[in-house]
Amino acid sequence: MVDRNRNHGPILCWEARKIMTTRLNRRDFARYGFGAAAIGALALSPSTILAQAPKIESTQRGDMPTTGGMRPGPTGANPVALASPGFKPVAIKIDAASVDAVVETLEIVDGVMQDPTGPWVVSWYKETGRLGLEEQNVVVAAHVDYWNVGPAVFYNVGNLQEGDVVDITGEDNNIYRYQVEWLELYDADNAPIADIVGATGETSLTMITCGGEFDYADGEYLSRTVVRASFVEKNPS
């Protein structure tokens, strides 16, 4: 970095270039401290002249050079890591209930849980909890039986016992393991929906299917089987 002080900076640089290409006259020798006796046909080398010149030093200090990625930026510019949005369930396996099924994504529309689309698929409702998030309730439902089919995917869920294992595979290819805590049979018209599908205060899984007596006149079950399970661990699939 060249000092721009008018007393010697840019003038000295110009004079140095002049010295490198021309012979010195008397004034030049006097300026750089050489005696008149040395004047003759002698042409001094540039290195000799520059060695006698005043040393140029910077009067300011700049940033030390760095690699681009390490160059300091504004204070507080580091972004805050975003929280995980959780993961959708894509499969479910319950050995104790002979369940090994794909999980589809459905919605709760105007407070009504949409029916699973077939006898062998389990539905996850996207308004409920996601896998991988603490204190969220992942809610799934499936048919207990099906018209012209008979027993369906959740046919044996009503026989689950405390401690039975439920494995849910997420879209992140991890398996989220839960253990059954309790099973309840609720009247379909008076079920505590908020308690069933809402937050539980822990990381949980809720499974819902039809149960109880079947009303042949209306063609529907009068009760709902609800199984609550708590999160145990996550493992790679």
Instruction: Tell me the DSSP string of 99-151.
Output: EEEEEEEE-EETTEEPPPSSTT-EEEETTS--BT-TT-EEEEE--SEETTTEE
Nearest to 8 by CA among 47, 45, 59, 42: 59
C-alpha–C-alpha distance, residues 159 and 111, integer Å: 28
Statement to judge: residues 169 and 123 lie in one domain: yes
Statement to judge: residues 211 and 150 lie in one domain: yes
Statement to judge: residues 153 and 193 lie in one domain: yes
Statement to judge: residues 46 and 154 lie in one domain: no
Statement to judge: residues 21 and 98 lie in one domain: no
Domain contains 108: yes
Structural domain span for residue 44 = 9-58
**What is the tally of structural domains in the chain?**
2
The count of residues in the chain is: 237
Domain contains 169: yes
Domain contains 54: yes
CA distances from 232 to 52, 63, 152, 176, 236 (A): 81, 53, 27, 8, 14
C-alpha–C-alpha distance, residues 198 and 200, integer Å: 6
- Write out the chain's pLDDT in tens, 237 residues: 444 444 444 433 334 344 344 444 444 444 444 343 333 434 444 444 445 555 556 566 655 554 444 444 444 445 555 566 899 999 999 999 999 999 999 999 988 899 999 999 999 999 999 999 999 999 999 999 999 999 999 999 999 999 999 999 999 999 999 999 999 999 999 999 889 999 999 999 999 999 999 999 988 999 999 999 999 999 998
What is the CATH number for 142? 2.40.260.10
List phi, psi (to 5°) of 2.
Answer: -90, 130
Domain contains 84: no
Domain contains 158: yes
User: Under the phi-then-psi rule, with left for phi > 0, alpha for psi from -120 to 50, and beta for the rest, what region is 21?
Assistant: alpha
E strands in the chain: 89-94, 99-106, 108-109, 112-113, 122-125, 137-141, 145-146, 150-151, 165-170, 174-187, 204-215, 220-236
**If DSSP states are collapsed to H, E and C, what string results for 158-169?**
HHCCCCCEEEEE
